[in-house]
Chain A
Amino acid sequence: MGRHVVAPLADFPPGTRKLIDINGRKIVVFNIKGEFFALFNRCPHEGGPLVSGKLTGLVVSSEPGQYEYSREGEILRCPWHSWEFDIRTGKSWCDPSRVKIRSYNVSVEPGAKLVEGPYVAETFPVKVEDDYVIVEA
């Protein structure tokens, strides 16, 4: 387990996502309205690439014909079979206790702190004056 710099915060605006590779492990990081979420990029069902999944809201119903829609953009649908996952927990909607995606902590850290380590920034220099998105994985 290490802490990995994903990108400078300025390069990772809300509504975007990035696929990163940590020693062969593919992890998808989302910025949803300024909040960051990181999930293993592989659907536990058949292995679909979650980076291509659609972000939708949660729809539930108390009665046939009623559609209660909430949490817009926080439900990730796998691009292959549309199984739904909660972006906050990685748990599937259909079988939350058994079918879930590995999730990782994401934080935003100032560059000044990163320079001290134990951080890994593979592809770009870390500047003391900027903020960076960090994944623990």
Chain B
Amino acid sequence: MTDITAIDCDVHPNVPGMAALAPYLDEYWRETVENREILSLDSMSYPPRAPISGRADWRGKGGTAGASLDALRTHALDRWGTSIAICNPLYGVQIVFNADMAVAFTRALNDWVVKEWLDRDPRLRASIVIPLQDISAAVAEIERCASDPRFVQVLVLAMGEAPLGRRQFWPIYEAAQRHGLPIGIHAGSAYRHPVTTLGWPSYLLEEYVAQSTGFQAQTASMITEGVFVKFPRLKVVLIESGVTWVPGFLWRLSKFWRGVRFEVPWVDRSPAEIFRDHFRLTIQPFDGPEDPDATARLIDHLKSDDLLLYSSDYPHWQFDGDEVMPPFIPETLRRKIMIDNPLATYPRIAASLSATSAA
């Protein structure tokens, strides 16, 4: 394990279109997709042509970014000396209303990731995308994929149909904990509700910025509903959530918990402590100030060196050049963020590396 240099906890293989998933669908759904001319499931969370969806110098032919393994290798893995990268496919399977269709598309998506990405580069790992439209099917998909140790996480979106702490989702957490899979919550919406609590915003900028409020609500939900009392070994990774909102949010949550904690008596310690034990965040975007002292103070307010996980968010446009690590992150934290914290968060990655070095 000594030669591990960086574990990139968030890269996005882009599905080029439904035609790419067709070989992984059964006959019925393949014909359905063809007859109904379902060409694409791109989500308005990441419109393909929007700057956030793909950095200009990473766009290939046709203008899409992150659509090929070669591109991922050239732009990210080889260039940044990445040892391990976790693929988080963002494709609109969560938006589909027909639960059977969602299950079929999700299975195809996970199988596509295995064949087109994991099987072709030993550095790659992936998250299991699950169809929350049908909880028992979601659990079955975890069970189906978990036998492949290259799946290291379960992936859901920041904004779904109901808050993630609700007990209806607990079978998912039971399966995830049992298999050593953190729950990755990624920016994005299933569009069951407006993406702001005020209603629909007019612009993509508003929608993207609003994601962090979705993360806050999910964090509050999972803590107050007692998910971590029930599943004490469960970890949650907030992916592409931004980082700097965390201290203020935890102050607020912990302060008001003191006054109404009898409403949720299973929350028997400060929510800030629970957060630090169970939640992790990827570092892109960081949403930090340019001033090094201010950044150091912000990191200080997190009150833990264990929370941050290295991520490029490739091919999303979060930074220019090779500045994957946000500027002014203290030197002493870099190794923890790049290697130690990801290994502590993802037991399946740690196990696979031990197995490799033993062999």
B262 within 8 A of A: yes
Contact indicator A84/B262 (Cβ below 8 Å): yes
B168 to chain A, nearest CB (A): 13
Which of B226, B259, B260, B270 is in CB contact (< 8 Å) with A63? Answer: B226
Answer yes or no: B257 CB below 8 A from chain A CBs: yes
Docked-complex contact B268 and A60, CB < 8 angstroms: yes
Contact status B229-A64, CB under 8 Å = yes
Would you call A81 an interface residue if the criterion is a C-beta within 8 Å of the partner chain's C-beta atoms? Answer: yes
Tell me the bound Cα distance from A60 to B262 in angstroms: 8
- Let me know if B73 is at the binding interface, CB within 8 A: no
Query: Looking across the interface, which residue of chain A has its beta carbon closest to that of B270?
Result: A94
Task: Note all chain A residues with C-beta closer than 8 A to B167.
Answer: 64-65
CB pair B261 A84 closer than 8 Å: yes
B264, chain A: closest CB distance, angstroms: 8
With A63-B226, A63-B230, A64-B230 known as contacts, the answer to whether A94 contacts B261 (CB < 8 A) is yes
- Residues of B220-238 contacting chain A, CB below 8 A: 225-227, 229-230
Say yes or no for A82: interface residue by CB 8 A criterion: yes
User: How many Å lie between the Cα of A61 and that of B260 in the bound state?
Assistant: 14
Is B258 interfacial (CB-CB < 8 Å)?
yes
A83 at interface, CB cutoff 8 A: yes
Q: Are A63 and B229 in contact (CB under 8 A)?
A: yes
Instruction: Please determine whether B266 and A93 come into contact, CB atoms closer than 8 angstroms.
Output: no
CB of B62 closer than 8 Å to a CB of A: no
**Count of CB-CB pairs between chains A and B under 8 Å:** 44
A59 at the interface (CB under 8 A from B): yes
Q: How far is the CA of A93 from the CA of B263 in the complex (A)?
A: 13
Q: Is B199 an interface residue (CB 8 A)?
A: no
Given known A64-B225, A64-B229, A94-B270, contact A81–B265 (CB-CB < 8 A):
no
Chain B residue numbers with a CB within 8 Å of A123 are none
Contact A64 B226 (CB under 8 A): yes
Instruction: Give CA–CA (A84, B268) in the complex, Å.
Output: 13
Interface SS of B by simple majority: helix
Q: Is the CB of B226 within 8 A of A59?
A: no
Which A residues are within 8 Å of any B CB, using their own CB?
Answer: 45, 56, 59-68, 81-84, 92-95
Choose one: B260, B262, B266; the contact of A66 (CB below 8 Å).
Answer: B266
CA separation between A14 and B279, bound complex, in Å?
48
Expressed in whole angstroms, the Cα–Cα distance for A63 and B225 within the complex equals: 10
For A94, the closest partner residue in chain B by CB is B258
Q: How far is the CA of A53 from the CA of B151 in the complex (A)?
A: 53
Shortest distance between the CB of B231 and any CB in chain A (Å): 10
- In the assembled complex, how far is the CB of residue B182 from the closest CB belonging to chain A, in whole angstroms? 20
Could you tell me the distance in whole angstroms from the C-beta of A43 to the nearest C-beta in chain B? 11
Interface size range of chain B in the complex: 10 to 19
Q: Which residues of B contact A59 (CB under 8 A)?
A: 262, 265
Closest residue of B by beta carbon distance from A82: B259
Taking a contact as CB atoms under 8 Å apart, the answer to whether A81 and B258 are in contact is yes
Q: Are B262 and A63 in contact (CB under 8 A)?
A: no
Chain A: CB-nearest residue to B269: A94
Q: Quick check: B270 and A64 within 8 Å, CB to CB?
A: no
Say yes or no: A94 contacts B257, CB within 8 Å: yes
Q: Which 4 A-B pairs have the closest CB atoms?
A: A64-B226, A61-B265, A61-B266, A94-B258
Enumerate chain A residues within 8 angstroms of B230, measured Cβ to Cβ.
63-64
Asked if B266 contacts A64 (CB within 8 A), the reply is yes
Instruction: Report B-chain residues with C-beta under 8 Å of the C-beta of A94.
Output: 257-258, 261, 270
Query: Is A93 a contact of B229 with CB atoms below 8 Å?
Result: no
A123 to B192, CA, bound (A): 68
Across the interface, which residues of A come within 8 angstroms of B266, CB to CB? 61-66
| Given A61-B268, A84-B261, 19 more pairs with CB closer than 8 A | A59-B262, A60-B265, A60-B268, A61-B226, A61-B229, A61-B265, A62-B266, A63-B266, A64-B167, A64-B227, A65-B266, A67-B265, A81-B258, A81-B259, A82-B259, A83-B258, A84-B262, A93-B261, A94-B270
Nearest chain A CB to B248 CB, angstrom units: 19
Picked from A60, A61, A83, the residue with its CB within 8 Å of the CB of B259 is A83
